[in-house]
Amino acid sequence: MNERVLVKHLQDLADGPVSVSGWVETVRDQKKVQFVILRDESGAVQLVNPATREVGEDATPEATAALELTETISALATGTFLTVTGQLKKDERVKLGGLEVKLSGLEIAAAALPETPIAADSAQDKRMDWRFLDLRQARNNLIFRVQTTLEHAMRTYWIERDYIEIHSPKLMASASESNAELFALEYFGEQTAYLAQSPQFFKQMAQSAGFGKIFEIGDVFRADPSFTSRHATEYTSIDAEISWIDSHEDVATMQEELLAFAFKTVADKHGAEIKELFDIDVVVPTVPFPRIPLAEAVEIVKARGYDIPRTDGDLDPEGERQISAHVQETYGHEFVFITDYHPEIRAFYHMRNDETGLTKSYDLLFKGVEITTGAQREHRVEVLEAQAREKGLDPEHLDFYLDFFRYGVPPHGGFGMGLARVLMLMFGESSIREVTYLFRGPTRLAP
């Protein structure tokens, strides 16, 4: 029987012949018996081989083959990819899954070098240098299976509600938000192109195009020389934009429903495994999420004994942690919307409240870290032009964007959310590097 079986499916099979493929995780080469832990993308299984250490000159072909198998196993290096055949046997005494495979044959697909350059406890930068080896850990494998489930759940939520998925260009002729934090590159020797900081303008173009409700999951780029645990120069952004809203509250309601649906999907499918490998309980958030105006949040943080050093009125990272701690203590919730930001600390395209002068916008905090900025957008072209000038932007340089509004756009709004930040906080990790397939930062362009 040579048909490959995934390790996770072995429990469903009756005892008997089986073939499994994967890579060597560990070898225990004892005098009388050999054990190999073989791992594939779905799990790990114990292989066992009664060791044959020597045979006589008149040995049978079977005995010679047994000696060769023993010697091959003794020489296996961690990471070697191979296919094995043998007899599957259920045995409750086996700690790893209560089953094992007694080997009858082994075929090496690709041998590994004997010295592995990293270990599970290697420094993060060293592990990132050898990311393909680091990703072989069961914990890391789970992160990216959860990422797949999370994205699929969000797409399911949107598609079931008739959203349109778009793929906006990542090469732009001008800045999408400001001239800061832009990567510029020569474009066919004739002009300068920029890597998109955000799909913001193109999300809004879809509203002018009459798409109504859209979403995108794609890469964005920020030339930000930051070395914090939650910043990257290239990351995956989760974006949505919807037409015919009354305020940013409609956007917030959609986002909290989206996250509650996605977290429940993850908890149902992976909750037990996340608990086993990370000792984290995936808490499905209740809706509605708490909402606190920024000015009130600042006062709450101050009352907790922390004076925010920023002079622009916004929360700093410690302020975010403090207000989130307050929400956890008061409401038992891991999420909180901070609302009503001053225009000075918001983008020019955020709509303002005619009565308060504050923006119709929010930040969403999850476990003390900002994961989202959302807002109702200003759709009146003359107001947009005035607000752009206030920010020191020349409307002539925004003509392609402002044209959307000169030909009519319905009231609309949306959000952008960092995928890696959500995963980092879900798994209780200390850095987005651990939950990013291949991290890009100011000093990392490889592998």
pLDDT score at 296: 98
User: What's the pTM?
Assistant: 0.94
Residue with tokens 């598609």, as numbered in its chain: 159
pLDDT score at 181: 83
344 — pLDDT class (breaks 50, 70, 90): very high
User: What residue type is 340 in one-letter code?
Assistant: D
* Over residues 49-61, mean pLDDT: 86
* Over residues 298-326, mean pLDDT: 97
For residue 412, report the phi and psi dihedrals to the nearest 5 degrees: -155, 170
Q: Residue 179 pLDDT > 70, yes or no?
A: no
- Helix or strand or coil: residue 42? coil
- Helix or strand or coil: residue 62? helix
CA 132 – CA 278 distance, rounded (Å) = 21
pLDDT score at 1: 45
178 — pLDDT class (breaks 50, 70, 90): low
Determine whether 191 is exposed, middle or buried from the number of CB atoms within 10 Å of its CB (0-12, 13-18, 19+).
exposed
55 — pLDDT class (breaks 50, 70, 90): confident
Q: Using the Cα atoms of residue 364, residue 367, residue 370 and residue 372 in order, give the sign of their dihedral.
A: negative
Q: Using the Cα atoms of residue 418, residue 422, residue 425 and residue 428 in order, give the sign of their dihedral.
A: negative
- Give the tokens for residue 205: 């173009």
Cα–Cα nearest to 98, from 56, 141, 44, 59: 44
374-386 pLDDT tens trace = 999 999 999 999 9
Cα–Cα nearest to 213, from 165, 276, 268, 266: 165
58 — pLDDT class (breaks 50, 70, 90): confident
Q: Residue 158 pLDDT > 90, yes or no?
A: yes
